[in-house]
Amino acid sequence: MNSPDEAPQRLSERLWRDIESIYAQILGHPFIGGLVDGTLDATVFGHYVAQDVHYLRDYARALAVVGAKAPTLADTAMFSRHAAEVQDVELALHRTLLPEVGLNPAEIAAVPVAPTTRAYTSYLLATVYGGSFVDGLAAILPCYWIYARVGEDLAARGSADPRYQRWIDSYGGEEFAATVAEVLALTDRVGESLTPADEAAARAHFVTTSRYEWMFWDAAYRRETWPI
């Protein structure tokens, strides 16, 4: 085990150490607390789910681009599979949840993309298209990893609201944990040969999109809309 002053040997460990304070603030956000005790306003959760549909459509595109730049055919196949699972699994979950929070799945395209959603997805797409494979990997990784960690934490506590419990189950289960483990293994593999400059750039992307993860939940909690 590394001492507090010793640099972790694996890239994934170095990345996570960079965002420990961000993750603590995510767990402490009232949106997350409201999921557990069931007090989260259904309209807030509906805003979150609607924005997540918009986000996931661009996230699937980002996964496809990262896969196209991946170092091996197996890695490309993995990201292609994960991109397809966004449609098959996560958006299917949203189609179930949307009616329960008063939203019509057929009308979701008409819901405006909120400022934070637009900023986050724009950053993701710009990074995966314009950067290296490692840049893109670092940018997409927080959405995998933070959701798995949040899901694991909330699964241990459960929710008083069955709608929120279904959301927790989707991210706190073994299947999603196995998906994230695949990506972390790849992260550590490519991390073994990074130059200091390339690693610094990757870590900066990872921190930025981790901040966007907090901002995404916060924006939903505020039911963010465009100010003008």
Low-confidence ranges of the chain (pLDDT < 70): 1-7, 90-91, 93
pLDDT in tens, 74-109: 999 999 999 998 877 766 767 777 787 777 777 787
pLDDT at residue 176, as a whole number: 86
Number of residues assigned to the chain: 228
Q: What is the DSSP string of 49-105?
A: HHHHHHHHHHHHHHHHHHHHT-SSHHHHHHHHHHHHHIIIIIHHHHHHHHHHTT--G
Integer Rg of the chain from CA: 17
pLDDT in the model for residue 87? 79
Q: Identify the active-site residue in 100, 107, 213, 224.
A: 213
Q: How far apart are CA 47 and CA 9, in angstroms?
A: 40
Q: What is the pLDDT of residue 4?
A: 54
Instruction: Please indicate whether residue 213 is annotated as part of the active site.
Output: yes
Question: For residue 37, what pLDDT is reported?
Answer: 93
Task: Retrieve residue 75's tokens.
Answer: 């890695």
Annotated catalytic, 143?
Answer: yes
pLDDT for the residue numbered 108: 80
CATH number of 19-221: 1.20.910.10
Q: Which of 85, 143, 182, 192 does the annotation list as catalytic?
A: 143
What b-and-e string marks burial along 195-207, b requiring 16 or more CB atoms within 10 Å of the CB?
eeebbebbbebbb
Residue carrying the six token digits 């918009």: 54
